[in-house]
Structure 1
């Protein structure tokens, strides 16, 4: 089910409020807004809400039988990637970037924000269908840059379907399959990265795949490999 709103503060915040009020929102439900006034990404960054872009949230209830809940960021990334492929003539221009970005020719196309609320994980997704923001620290892109802008509601249906499929695969086949499929859709090993860790500042290295727990493997200049569990990752 997809519920649409003409405007709201944040679809993630709306779902969180409903959960706090005792509303048991079913998995597969999506709340999609035409505009957001308080959308945000990782580290509290504001999220651009250009009219016609996709802005929506869903909910997952992880259980003890599921892989670790933080790897839902990888599940969501694959779902967004698969949904966007249908509107992209050249699949090679789409690449996933750890932990939760979809890139179009090296520029940010979509972002994902996971937030816990009780026994639920709220998954918020923003994707530039029509407009891309002008940001000072990173290039951005929209699907309209490479072809006709997809209809928002059509994209929402495609994403809802792909998310349900990827969630079921995560639960059925486990983390190993997810990691292999995610890496096959990511930029290649050897890609130069800068990782901003709050405790250490900028760490430079090369992408060396994913570790067994879904963390980023960063190969350093001395040949050693470091596991990155959290940080702001930029293509160098």
Structure 2
């Protein structure tokens, strides 16, 4: 990862990540949900609310996914949650903090996850070979929280992102956010879902099989993944007051977005075949909303599920 090329990257960020991994990283053999466990520790003041914390586990039994779906347990996979405080007048801004909660954050994280060395190498291989002949599919981001690939218009999910705000119980004020990342490394879980749209799981080991690219272990991915989450946070903090950087990110995101300029079905909740609207994804806006075009009208979409049609 050539992080030095990014204007939002700094030596302080590297030091903050190293300090986090060394002093504020909790790892367990099992938990119900890394997000829930970390939120509880922060809310109860068992962990300092003004410092970042990392929580990982080997297995989890009640992981949370989007739209009420469970993030399935799988041995050898990444279950990681990162807490970062909100920057405010009472604390000194630090590289691992968030200035403003934005819908762009999950998109930034998705783009950064695609920069993990094994995924980036695979995409380079896919881009330089005949995808059909080699049975390769580009790994990209599916708005708003998924990473994976499409095969015959069916999405195969490799990783998911779940961002949850953390509120102080007394003042009901926002003290920070927890960023949860589930990434299938060694195991492809069988997903149990009533979702109306085609939806399957995949794993990094399955994708990299016969590619000549080594598949790391889940534990080997904690440090680089945390570094990439830190870069996403730093970039999010700069985008909130720099329109030119936001415009550049939109271009970057669209290049990795699996739905960009494609016909899509937009579903509300609950997901039933009859509630789908058919249109075209024309990009994202500066707030991270998906731009949905139908009958000549472009509408920003802030919530819901989308799929290729």
TM-score (norm 2): 0.69
Contact 2:204 2:215 in 1 (8 A): yes
* Secondary structure of 1:184's aligned partner: helix
Q: Deviation of residue 10 (structure 1)?
A: 0.6
Q: Relative to structure 1, is the Cα distance of residues 210 and 78 closer, same or farther in structure 2, using a 3 angstrom cutoff? A: same
1:203 aligns to 2:264 (yes or no): no
Q: Deviations over 1:76-108 (max 9, x none)?
A: 212322226556423451111111110134411
1:72 aligns to 2:105 (yes or no): yes
* Aligned counterparts of 1:87 and 1:31: Cα–Cα separation in 2: 25
1:157 to 201, 218, 223: 223
1:101 to 146, 149, 157: 146
Deviating above 6 A after TM superposition, structure 1's stretches of 4 or more consecutive aligned residues are none
1:143 aligns to 2:166 (yes or no): no
Q: Deviation of residue 228 (structure 1)?
A: 0.7
- Paired residues in the alignment total 235
Contact 1:11 1:55 in 2 (8 A): yes
Q: Relative to structure 1, is the Cα distance of residues 42 and 188 closer, same or farther in structure 2, using a 3 angstrom cutoff? A: closer
* Aligned counterparts of 1:121 and 1:209: Cα–Cα separation in 2: 26
* Aligned counterparts of 1:123 and 1:43: Cα–Cα separation in 2: 16
* Aligned counterparts of 2:259 and 2:304: Cα–Cα separation in 1: 19
* Aligned counterparts of 2:303 and 2:117: Cα–Cα separation in 1: 26
Contact 2:290 2:301 in 1 (8 A): yes
Q: Name structure 1 gaps, 5 residues minimum.
A: none
Contact 1:193 1:204 in 2 (8 A): yes
Quote the residue 1:50 is aligned against: 74
Contact 1:107 1:138 in 2 (8 A): yes
Q: Deviation of residue 171 (structure 1)?
A: 1.4
* Aligned counterparts of 1:69 and 1:197: Cα–Cα separation in 2: 21
2:253 to 157, 166, 182: 182
Q: Deviation of residue 179 (structure 1)?
A: 3.0
Name whichever of 112-121 and 27-36 sits farther off.
27-36
Quote the residue 2:9 is aligned against: none
TM-score (norm 1): 0.88
Q: Deviation of residue 62 (structure 1)?
A: 3.4
1:212 to 261, 286, 290: 286
* Aligned counterparts of 1:217 and 1:129: Cα–Cα separation in 2: 32
Q: Relative to structure 1, is the Cα distance of residues 96 and 35 closer, same or farther in structure 2, using a 3 angstrom cutoff? A: same
Q: Name structure 2 gaps, 5 residues minimum.
A: 1-20, 89-97, 128-137, 168-174, 209-213
